[in-house]
Amino acid sequence: MQTIEILNLTQHESSAEQKQMNVVSLDSKFKMGLKDLLTFDEIPLSAFDVMGRAKILVNQYVIPNFKGKYVMIGGASYLMHFLDIYLSKAGYIPVTAFTKRVSQEENGVKKSVFLHEGFIISPIMEIDEWVFYVKNGIKKSFIISQLPIK
């Protein structure tokens, strides 16, 4: 089996669980620009602005800096839609993180924490797999056509 890497194209640092699943980040010199492109301080008045940001993210951040296949995205849904499209057109498979909310107690105080469980493949992709996780760098998939449907 082939080991895979997943590029973190979100403005958040990868969790320890994600790093164990071979989630990698762009070089730190790209972090500020990445955050600026992913953050909208005002309502976008044009789809072209949103599309333009998605194109810049793919053409200037992903393509020149990542030779893998999977790109983890997350953020404003109106931007993620275009990122899905441009990433898939460029030959990448966009994925989103799946986290599980659990309650933990610390010093007598209960708090919710999120544990990374795996990845959901973008519905825009016309492939047979839908969700996967990575153990020891090896991808484990759930194949849609093999799921029992009743």
Structure confidence by residue, pLDDT tens digits, 115-134:
888 888 887 766 555 556 55
Residue 31 sits at the vertex; the CA angle it makes with 117 and 76, to the nearest 5 degrees, is 60
CA dihedral 31, 36, 132, 127 (to 10 degrees): -120
113, containing H or E segment: strand 109-121
Model confidence, pTM: 0.80
33, containing H or E segment: helix 31-38
Calpha distance 80→72 (Å, rounded) = 10
Q: How confident is residue 112, by pLDDT bands cut at 50, 70 and 90?
A: confident
Residue 99 sits at the vertex; the CA angle it makes with 95 and 102, to the nearest 5 degrees, is 180
pLDDT digits over 28-81, tens only?
999 999 999 999 999 998 899 999 999 999 999 999 999 999 999 999 999 999
Per-residue buried b or exposed e for 127-147, using 16+ beta carbons within 10 Å of the residue's own CB: eeebbbbbeeeebebeeeeee
Mean pLDDT of 80-93: 93
Enumerate the domain spans of the chain: 6-146
